[in-house]
Structure 1
């Protein structure tokens, strides 16, 4: 997407009446705010060196995370930079409840949280507004990534029960910021990034933050070279001490081939392969391309010392060319969910080009405090309207021959557009109310409810299989917290999450084709303890999530005909999460561990899966980080990172499991001043001991996949602050 942001383009955005009303509110508020002289708004600028004490994704953004009766992880910009993270999948190392879910190099990211795969269409936010994660999202201009764990019915209308991910962009800095970063890797990948920020104007009322990045991608995996670039600009205008207008816009482009997953060889789990092998290596293989243009505008106004309101509108425009020499199944042995026993597989030419996804969202929020006697109510009211419009073309999905896991076969291409795609439209309106009731200095009850009106339609690109439905759903949430003593909080919560599903409109297979199933309502209990201080903080949480399941995946995977689409038992995930961070003297220590007991129950479509754990969900996960500042050499710091994931099921019936694995990463960083210029040098080694292992085993698109862990990789970085 190469077009520039112009006034004409703003006018061409497909705004809903609610969105137009909010846009008008921005203009009226900006014009009338000069007359407002009341209580000063909280500062909107962010200093990059400070970790975020709050998590906007919680829905209670004004309350510190350690006081909230929920579980969340905030990964700040320092952690992003030190870890060398380029994509969301790189951040699993910071949270033991977050694991991979079909994270193929060169493709977009999937995450599993508390054993449930997040839905890329509904479980992601940017600046608090819903976005599609069916694209490559850069991290260079992100101040932090917030990951909420558990059901999210109070924060989102419809979403999978694992949690939510919110991207927060970098905002203007109070002091001038001039940072240049250069990084290279083992095969001479080169990243150049520029970060500029500051304020100007007679009273420094205007702020800006500019981020530019370009990277020549040369990973150790064969046939995976590519390129990406990103440009973003964030600004604000402090109209008065009570009124702030903020905006941000981001344009990104990435072109890179993707990496095919490996698979079972018949009924055998192969030994981990050389991770540099890429099965997507045909002479005609083309890179996938991801173009994104995203922006938002927000106006905030303090009404008095206790109340303030805000309005926000944003849009995301995506264009994708998805291409792959696709290894899928073994027709010779009649197994279409794995490769052949001899290491061969069926090869397909897959091309879905000019995919266009547009999402527009706007919100109005009012927050304030009310006293009723000695009881304090912290109230919040929200209205969120969004519109999704996805348009696709026919795609190629053509059998072209036989490949092998040694990546030595050469087959001819066939780009003929033989397969129809599915266009989708969606409108939703969500109304939310929440109340944190402070009975005294120790005891608080938390109440929240969200009502969502949905209107969804889909139709194949050839005009066949139209579906459509409307629904109204309500998701309540209640919690109670008690401060046992300063620095020690106990809490309990209960909440719902909602998903909607339509039976595929395929009358040749489904007896109720095209019908909307009753809303799938997940329920979660959570008990937790939080404690500590600035030097030592810890959290312990127990959760119990019950999610209804349907038989649609089983019917599709098993080819069941006829199939009556319906509920088919449930998935019950129970687990224990523990985490801590400790800063003392030259040491910084942190880590988390998750023990999860996830089971399938009550299935009649696949009774062999009852009592089994879901595929690709490890039974235990450990993440640990340690950093030591060498006191004899000021500015020198040694960091280590350990990730361990336990055994997991490869097949739904548990007959084949993936062994556990452990990986160690290391970083050496040196901060100093050279001729008065602040510089930071880093040497990092990912997979220090060059372990070969199967990183994950997703059961995706009706197929079993195995993805190897990345090989040992060296990273060298230099950051200069002028």
Structure 2
């Protein structure tokens, strides 16, 4: 994978913090002001908070005909969540989709794996998530669930993830943090905001971590430097500039697998063994540079115009001692390891991957009245471009490894295999209208028209493909307010994924464009948001055309990719956040029926997708037990899931318990927030997920019991 290389000086974090504090004016501190410092409060879901990625302006989540979750920076800190894969512990609709330590986060939402190229946003604009995305400079993570054709031109139908960047605050503050995670990860950070005068305000985040997880041979480092500048150029004009430099270098983690046809007992596997432990193993490196500029101008009391542009430059060195199948002594285990734990080992290296993305959106928002109806209208155009450039890659057989991690081989880093360069451009026109019909009824209508062009070519000049497509994706919703805080709703929408057949010689239709994979979702629900409880229940039904290969696929012109039937995901979701003085409980649950339907091969109908649990429950509880001291607990349950496409083997469900304490201490020097926690309190041994990648089964274990602690000082 990829991130542009930049050099963030290897300076001690404390020195970085001192340098920044020296350059930014500190306001006077006294014993009296210490008593007026903001107290830290923990809340659950923010039902009355707008969800930016929804595309409906300032309308709160509780008033929209869709399901979304907003995870605040405070919740991320309290749960020890430092990467997007941690969302799988906080939302029942979300599960793992090949989440390895030291690598990119992959998520499944409502049973569909999100596409890291198209399903992620930063302040509402598309970004490429084929990198290690940090969360230290994020104010909140928004998760929009379901088809997203009105918000995105092409995307997987599970939903969208939006990172909301931290902006300057009205009051000056400085927060210093120090964290420790067993067995040796140490992280230190600075978050500072200053009002600079003349309409300018600045927020800076600096973070540095030495990574040393319990996983063996996985030491690394990570750094983040980001800044956000706001300028109120006039009472009607706001200019917002932000930039981020990121770096992560860490050996990542290959998965275990079946041993022959048998699912190994997770209690017999050491979850800390790293199969990427060869003497020649190198870290995967992710470097990123991202910058955006947004200008908002209020034309009058009802109308505004916004121009928002973003540039992202990623450079990755993707390197792994990669286990795949087993052919030892004439064996032929193509999708698993040998029964004795042996596997074929490959030296995989793809250095210097570059992914460059740009996005520019122009939008007009306003309010108009037509008779008795009031319309909140938004219309605009989004232009995006992506260029992915690679060198040759190594994928070379180097010998035999074993799941005990004690068998070592020589290296073969020669990049003799061609890679594939990719270009994409799209133009998307959109219009959205939120219609207030009367005091009880409201309707939402939206339409997005997308024109895209894509081209690929091998790094050796071979197998070029190019195509263009256009499609229109509508969306509609209807809401009825039973009371001021209770709403019934229904919605319907479409989304699109675009796919071209592989250009390998075995395909009879190599390089041809498949019909657009247009997904359709219907959703009905009821939701409420008050000061004491937020809750919602919904039913969704998503259908998406399914592509598959037919033929022997073992020689030239023996394989054809076709559209054959549908993936249909139907589910019931429920979420609740009870809040009381000093505490609360947030919980979400999902029952999912995901099946294959309508295939020309009847044996495929009724099959479950791999690595998708049918039942999930996620819960977080909090209660103040003494002045400033809060006890916190978490529960994560994920039910059984299919390991193989033919559903011949199921992975058992599992439950994990987490616990933490949080103490907020006001002193004359500032507000001190102490956190201690333990994840997997019962030290449960289980297989967390079973991704099926490249026609191969992989298994990832639950991390063992892990302790964490941090100190946050607000000055």
Q: Report the TM-score, using the length of structure 2 for normalisation.
A: 0.92
SS at match of 1:566: strand
Quote how far apart the aligned CAs of 1:645 are. 0.3
> For residue 526 of structure 2, what is the aligned residue in structure 1?
529
Rounded Cα–Cα distance in structure 2 between residues aligned with 1:500 and 1:333:
38
Instruction: Give the Cα–Cα distance (whole angstroms) in 2 for the partners of residues 334 and 609 of structure 1.
Output: 25
Match for residue 654 of structure 2?
A: 661
Once residues 355 and 492 of structure 1 are traced to their aligned partners in structure 2, the CA distance between those partners, rounded to angstroms, is 44
Distance 1:609 1:557 in 2: 18
Structure 2 CA distance for aligned equivalents of residues 375 and 557 of structure 1: 58
Shift of 1:556: 9.9
* Matched residue, 1:182: 178
1:102-501 matches, within 5 Å, as 102-202=98-198, 205-272=199-266, 273-331=269-327, 332-501=330-499
Distance 2:235 2:583 in 1: 41
Per-residue CA deviations over 1:662-703 (Å, capped at 9, x if unaligned) read: 001111010012334210111110111111110001111221
**Aligned equivalents of 1:558 and 1:483: distance in 2?**
59
Name the counterpart of 1:682.
675
Q: Where does residue 517 of structure 1 map in the other structure?
A: 514
The CA distance in 1 between the partners of 2:586 and 2:551, in whole Å, is 44
Match of 2:577 in 1: 581
Distance, in Å, in 2 between the alignment partners of 1:48 and 1:303 is: 37
Tell which has more relative contact order, 1 or 2 (C-alpha 8 A, sep 6+): 2
Note if 1:634 corresponds to 2:627.
Answer: yes
Matched-pair contact (CA < 8 Å) for 1:619–1:648: yes
Contact 2:5 2:288 in 1 (8 A): no
3-state SS in 2 of match to 1:208: strand
Cα distance, 1:294–1:173 mapped onto 2, change above 3 Å:
same
Q: Does 1:611 align with 2:609?
A: no
Q: What pairs with 1:4-43 in structure 2 (closer than 5 Å)?
A: none
User: Partners of 2:708 and 2:551 in 1: how far apart?
Assistant: 46
Match status 1:602 vs 2:598: yes
Contact 1:690 1:712 in 2 (8 A): yes
Give the alignment's Cα RMSD to 1 decimal. Answer: 1.6
For 1:261-284, what per-residue CA distance to the aligned partner results, in whole angstroms no more than 9, with x for missing partners? 011111100011221011000000
Deviations 1:72-110 (A, max 9, x none): 111011001111111100121111000000001111011
Contact 2:42 2:75 survives alignment (8 Å) = no
- Give the distance between the partners of 2:428 and 2:116, measured in 1 at CA: 19
Question: Structure 1's 118 and 491: CA in aligned 2 closer, same or farther, altered over 3 A?
Answer: same
The question of whether the paired residues in 1 share the 8 Å contact of 2:56 and 2:434 is answered with no
Aligned partner of 1:621 in structure 2 is 616
Q: Which residue of 2 aligns with 1:545?
A: 542
Separation (CA, whole Å) in 1 of partners of 2:278 and 2:581: 54
Residues 612 and 529 of structure 1: CA distance in aligned 2, closer, same or farther (over 3 Å): same
1:335-363 Cα deviation digits (max 9, x unpaired): 22111122111000000000000000000
Correspondence for 1:696 among 669, 675, 689:
689
Aligned-pair CA distance for 1:555:
7.0
1:200 is displaced (CA, Å) by 2.0
1:373 to partner: Cα distance: 1.3
Relative to structure 1, the CA distance from residue 558 to residue 215 in structure 2 (aligned partners, 3 Å threshold; closer, same or farther) is farther
Does the aligned pair in 2 maintain the 1:609–1:652 contact within 8 Å? no
> In the alignment, which residue of structure 2 is the partner of 1:23?
none
Shift in CA distance, 360/222, structure 1 to aligned 2, threshold 3 Å:
same
- Distance in 1 between residues matched to 2:442 and 2:701, nearest whole Å: 47
Q: Secondary structure at the match of 2:560?
A: coil
- TM-score w.r.t. length of structure 1: 0.91
Instruction: Write out per-residue CA displacement over residues 223-247 of structure 1, whole angstroms, 9 at most, x where no aligned residue.
Output: 1110000000001100111100001
Rate the CA distance shift 1:330–1:602 in 2: closer, same or farther, 3 A.
farther
Q: Classify 1:254/1:303 alpha carbon distance in 2 versus 1 (closer, same or farther; 3 Å).
A: same
Q: 1:556 to 1:482 in 2, by over 3 A?
A: farther
Q: Deviations for 1:628-682, whole angstroms, at most 9, x for unmatched residues?
A: 101xx31000000000000010011111000000001111010012334210111
Classify 1:292/1:415 alpha carbon distance in 2 versus 1 (closer, same or farther; 3 Å).
same
- 1:3–1:707 CA distance, 2 compared to 1 (3 A): closer
What 5-or-longer segments of structure 1 have no aligned partner? 6-46
Contiguous gaps of at least 5 residues in structure 2: 9-39
Provide the residue aligned with 1:646 in structure 2.
639
Q: Hey, what's the Cα distance between the residues in 2 that align with 1:371 and 1:94?
A: 41
Q: How many positions carry a matched residue from both structures?
A: 674
Between 702-711 and 608-617, the greater mean CA deviation after superposition: 608-617
CA distance in 2, matches of 1:97, 1:516: 32
